[in-house]
Chain A
């Protein structure tokens, strides 16, 4: 069967752009702490989701709703409302990470298809079997710390679908377990849905260039004319042992385009593109390119042909094939 292309939508306009560019599925979230891209001005109101799903279905695409942060003990109402609103809007699946949210969905919304978010970091057959047996999870998004060989082995040992990130921003830590942002700002993607939140971000200019700060911590410094970056904590330059370096991860983004065929062979059902915070122009270009690549692979195209289709995306910023090709340090 053909690979399913799962594409990001941070706004209704991006959803329409992704669908028109050839997304098989689009994922999006509500405008609150229930999803892991809770940036100001981003995401969907319940009414916008209804409208977005109507548009996607009319064009033969599915909509997956990410409700993938960890619910607060004793204050689960926002997550319960998100599940109810997603079902009412006609979502094709919800993407969840938290045990309590999964339990609530399985008990009160038995007809909703459940996908396990990358935030749950389920990377072993035992963990995946637990989620499948206990809550009826049908698909698991692979943590971005696995190699292609590890994914192939995992797929051989489980009987649910798997989805793998192939393009976009990269969380180098095991997802759902990173506390860097909580340490610096009190907010994290896991609980509040945002890593390195913008209300704590400050850029300041001095004669040495631009310093980027997160809640007072200097995350990086850029000379005049040097390309600046958003102060995401794991991509900062820090001094340790007398040396300044990208201590956790270079500021690169994931591009596993050259591995699409290998991932398909490893048993992956769906390819996921990151970028709900990116604009329509970006979404259109990336989705259109990946759709052409997926079709070329379906038609038995060679790696060279697929490489040529994706070449345009590789220009400019620095990219990596992430853990898919390297052993984790």
Chain B
């Protein structure tokens, strides 16, 4: 550095050349930009599970505190082989799918209405705000009276639970659609329908999808709760039964299934986002 600075010897005034010492400019940028490290997430799981395995084997963790991960795994494996896994998983997945589909599609529809129409907004926003904080699980007895003890009440609970967050996410997303794009559509004489379908909906998609992440997590929680309160089969019923018998291995097997379900949903949503939102910079 010092050499570079003093290179044009003839033109450089003497005082400049006597600059005390040269040092590199201190770097102050960087950070605030989490990058992707694909391996780190799985590694955290592996380390935690290995720790639990080692702890339970060495007796450092009592076997009433935590079941041995390898035992949980073999329980899961047995369940898979005997078909009991599917016996519980199938009804749960059906409930989740039917309930969430109903709730999310109704939520997007109502969210769009609120986002597009003055009167719908004025009429429905307070209602949604009143419904949002109700712990939906508290309404299960009511749903049982309305829809019967079996599947319908569970669908209704999950649908209702996913409905409100989807509404809020959707109309927020519609509000955030770039108005100049809508003006552009109008200026080219696009019909109202085309504007909604080709400009508003795609523009709101990022917000709707991130709302979907929250809605689906809520759906899993409500699913388990509903199954705990009254179901013969289902992950929730399975966990409840294992818990009441203090069968920690099966309890954790059930919890593991739920975690895997959560990870799968999140991964699938990630794929959908990558496909639908590839236009985002």
Q: Do A and B bind each other?
A: no
A contact residues vs B (CB 8 Å cutoff): none
